[in-house]
């Protein structure tokens, strides 16, 4: 399991890294607050060195916006190249896909479309399935389990339907299947944690995918709840068994 640093959005990067290390996590998806896409040179080198020293690998970044401006889109891929990131979680506008088809091929970076919940561009499973259909194999999905639950959708079904297009997950659980809800420790709400891992095993979720815990509740002091989430994940994985 990795973490998405949005869980630690009320902490600066140094504090966030300290917490990740304390939780025993060695992979992270950073948000722009902790690593701006404009970062280069010494600023970027300092962040990467901090992560290296903490034995934390930067596997993804996002959520990035993409539109019809090809060169603006390219800037995000240039950032991914500088930072050696293989996955950009994204909220691409419909007019961005011709550009993205070219850029994922050119840079070898995958785009993972993030569903943002009720009323968003990618609210339902069908929205993501339609978006990726016919596009480059490196354009896929970041399944946000909590947002799908708030949209009254089944995140396990999302994984199965999107299959080999699932490159990333934001793993969180919700107390309600409604637009207005809040996170709970994973497995205590509507997320079938064992079912999620079984589905990931079935679709052969890639070893270099970004499986990130994202805990949005209690942002000033989320660590104890995050630890309970990690314990629940470890227990579920033990029931599912090793991935091939």
Longest dimension (CA), the chain: 46
153-162: pLDDT as tens digits: 999 999 999 9
Whether 115 and 185 have beta carbons less than 8 Å apart is answered as no
Using a pLDDT cut of 90, give the percent of the chain over it.
Answer: 97
Pinpoint the alpha helices (H) of 65-192. Answer: 70-83, 97-107, 125-132, 145-150, 155-162
Q: Is the pLDDT at 2 greater than 90, yes or no?
A: no
200-228: pLDDT as tens digits: 999 999 999 999 999 999 999 999 999 99
Which pLDDT score is estimated for 244? 73
Which pLDDT score is estimated for 142? 98
Which pLDDT score is estimated for 71? 98
Which pLDDT score is estimated for 186? 98
Q: Report the C-alpha gap between 117 and 122 in whole angstroms.
A: 7
Nearest Cα to Cα of residue 110 among 91, 88, 130, 95: 88
C-alpha distances (whole Å) from 18 to each of 4, 5, 23, 97, 198 are 14, 12, 9, 38, 31
Which pLDDT score is estimated for 62? 97
Using a pLDDT cut of 70, give the percent of the chain over it.
Answer: 100
Mean pLDDT of the region 101-117: 98
Which pLDDT score is estimated for 1? 75
Mean pLDDT of the region 56-63: 98
Q: Is the pLDDT at 241 greater than 80, yes or no?
A: yes
159-189: pLDDT as tens digits: 999 999 999 999 999 999 999 999 999 999 9
132-167: pLDDT as tens digits: 999 999 999 999 999 999 999 999 999 999 999 999
pLDDT band at 6 (very low <50, low <70, confident <90, very high): very high
CA angle 166, 169, 172 (to 5 degrees): 145
Mean pLDDT of the region 70-92: 98
Q: Is the pLDDT at 3 greater than 90, yes or no?
A: no
Which pLDDT score is estimated for 122? 97
Q: Is the pLDDT at 128 greater than 90, yes or no?
A: yes
Q: What is the mean pLDDT of the chain?
A: 97
Which pLDDT score is estimated for 132? 98
């Amino acid at each position: 399991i990795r973490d998405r640093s949005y869980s630690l959005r009320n902490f600066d990067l140094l504090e966030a890294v300290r917490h990740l290390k304390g939780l025993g996590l060695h992979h992270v998806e950073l948000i722009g607050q902790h690593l701006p896409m404009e970062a280069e040179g010494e600023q970027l080198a300092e962040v990467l060195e901090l992560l290296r020293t903490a034995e934390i690998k930067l596997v993804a970044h996002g959520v990035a916006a993409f539109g019809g401006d090809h060169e603006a889109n390219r800037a995000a891929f240039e950032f991914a190249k500088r930072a050696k990131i293989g996955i950009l979680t994204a909220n691409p506008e419909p007019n961005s896909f011709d550009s993205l088809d070219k850029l994922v091929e050119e840079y070898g970076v995958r785009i993972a479309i993030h569903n943002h919940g009720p009323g968003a561009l990618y609210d339902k499973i069908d929205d993501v399935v339609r978006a990726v259909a016919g596009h480059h194999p490196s354009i896929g999905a970041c399944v946000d389990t909590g947002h799908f639950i708030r949209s009254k959708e089944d995140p396990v079904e999302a994984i199965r339907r999107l299959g080999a297009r699932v490159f990333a997950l934001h793993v969180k659980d919700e107390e309600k299947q409604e637009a207005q809800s809040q996170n709970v420790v994973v497995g205590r709400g509507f997320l079938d944690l064992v079912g999620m891992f079984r589905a990931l095993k079935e679709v052969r979720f890639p070893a270099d995918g970004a499986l990130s815990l994202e805990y949005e509740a209690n942002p000033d002091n989320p660590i104890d709840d995050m630890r309970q989430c990690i314990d629940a994940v470890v227990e579920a994985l033990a029931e599912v068994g090793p991935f091939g």
